[in-house]
Structures are given as C-alpha cells and as structure tokens.
Structure 1
Amino acid sequence: MAKVGAQRAAILTGKSKSTIQRAMNSGKLSFELDQNKRRVIDVSELERVFGIKQQNVATSTPPAETSGTQEIIAAVEKERMTMQIKMLEQQLSVSDERLSDLTDQRDKWEKQASQILITSQYSQKQAEELRAQIKEREDRARQRRLQNAQVQNAQKSVKGSKAARPPTGHDAKRLNEKMKKLKAENENAADYSSSVFRFWKRAKS
C-alpha cells in the first residue's frame, strides 16, 4: 500500500498538516520512518482514521503530481474495495450459518409437530374406544340389575304364594336356571370390567 508524508496526508484527508502531526504524536495515527528518517503514513491508515477526501485531492494537487496522486487514489479505492469484499464475504458466511440453523430448527419443529399430531390422534382413538366399552359395560350392568330385580320378584312371588305348598318341580327348575344364568353373566361382567380397567391403565400411561 502507498505511503505518504504529513503534507500529502493532509491533502488526501482534507485535514490540516498540524492535525495530521498531532494525530501521529498522540498515537491515534500510526506511521513509519522511511530511509530518510521521515515519518510516512500508510494510505489505508489515513482511510481508517480520517477517511480520504477525493475532492480535496483533485483540487489541491498540482498538475505535476497528478500521476502520483492518481496512483494513490487508485490504491485507496482498491484497498477500500478489498475491505468491502471481505466484509460482504463475512456477512454472507454469517447469513449462511443462520439460514442453516433456522432450517435445522424448522425441521426439528416439524418433526415434533408430526409426533404430537400422531400421539393426539392415537390418544383420541383410544379415548373413543374406552368410552364405547364403558357404555357397553354400563348397559350390561343395567340389564343385570333389571334381571336381578326380576329374579327377586319371582322369589318373593314364590315365597308369598301358598307358603305351605313347596314350589313344583317345573317352577324350581326354571328358577334354578335363571339363577345359574345370572351367576354366569355376573362372572363374565367381572372379567370384562377387569379387562377394561387394564386397557384404561395402558391408555393413560
């Protein structure tokens, strides 16, 4: 990169020579010593600290120095473009990383949403099956209560009619068959209730 003295630096930046010298003395502006022990400043350093004023360069530079000034301006522009390219590349890299992270996060959310939907549909189906089985169990229990009432009424009727006369063989046989049938239904209902309870526990867990 081109290096210039304090006077040329003042022309390039539009600042006074004393301002450039104070900046060098305070350490704000970095400089080097050339072979003649003269302090020189890198143009990119001028760009960083003060910025380059091209209009001032064009109006203040003598015609004899136009060629050298143009070279400095070209070098400054090249350096500026290089810095902009690097900055844009860094921004692009960061954008690519963010896009990749957002894509991964979106895929993760879609997967979770699908799992929740599947689980919800499965749970709803289980709940419907359980409600249907509970309703069926309640209907059977209601039917058993009705049959129990009928048997009890039949027993009372038998006991109340002609207490001295025992029931005939036909009546006793029919009553015995009803009792056996009711006992078998009660056992089946108990097994069914147990199976429904086990199914409900599995669905709940």
Structure 2
Amino acid sequence: MKLSASQAAKKTGKSVPTITRAIKSGKISAEKTKSGGYQIEASELFRVFNAVTEEPNAKGNSLGDETPPKDAKNAAEASLLQEKIDALETALADAKAERDEWRDQAKRLALALPSPQASTDTNLGRPWWKRWLAVG
C-alpha cells in the first residue's frame, strides 16, 4: 500500500515537511510522482515513524493526548528540575548582589580621588636645558 506525503503525515502524526525532509535525507525511500509528490510504501514509513492510533485510549502515539500522564518518574524529574531552577535563581541573586557591592565600591573610590588640577611646577613650561641648569 503506497501513501502520499500528506497521507503519511496523517498516519504518523508528523507534518508533511517532516515527511519530505526524511525522504530527502534518505531516512525513508519513496518514489517521486510526475506531479512532484511522493509515493511512500507503508512498511517503509512505519519502519522510521510509529503509527498513530485513532483511539484516544489506545496505547502508543496518540494525537488525543498532548501531555503525558503524571506518574512517579515524571513527578521525580519535575521536582529535581525545580530544585535546579531554585539553586540557579539563588546563585543569580547572589551574583547580582555581589555586582552591586562592587559597583558601589567603585563609585565611592571614584568620588574619593582628588580632582585633577593644573600643576604648580613652574619648570614644566621651560626648555629642558634651562630646567637642568636652573637658569632663569
């Protein structure tokens, strides 16, 4: 039984571009039709992609359920991920506090610096030889 790309997409729950990309990359072999479409052998299609069942209560890939059922494994994984998120948020808050402390210290140091004033050394405007000889 041969299927078109759109029929194959419906049978597997994938999009038509996903099916055509799989054909072009060589994951699925298919025949090109004169109209530019593809004819895919069903066995070849289901070798790569699982079939979607039409019954929402059936086991396997189903378009009826978008989220997996909650079970102990998913709950444990979710709590582990939440712990990691909390730890990262704490580390981020600490880094921001440290950054703010460094910024405040830099501002205090910048305010404490003496303002640049014109030099009171009168020798700077004279040629080097007059300064060296202390002439004039």
Question: Would you say same fold, with TM above 0.5?
Answer: no
When normalised by structure 1's length, the TM-score is: 0.25
Identify the structure with the greater helix proportion: 1
Which structure: larger Rg?
A: 1
When normalised by structure 2's length, the TM-score is: 0.37
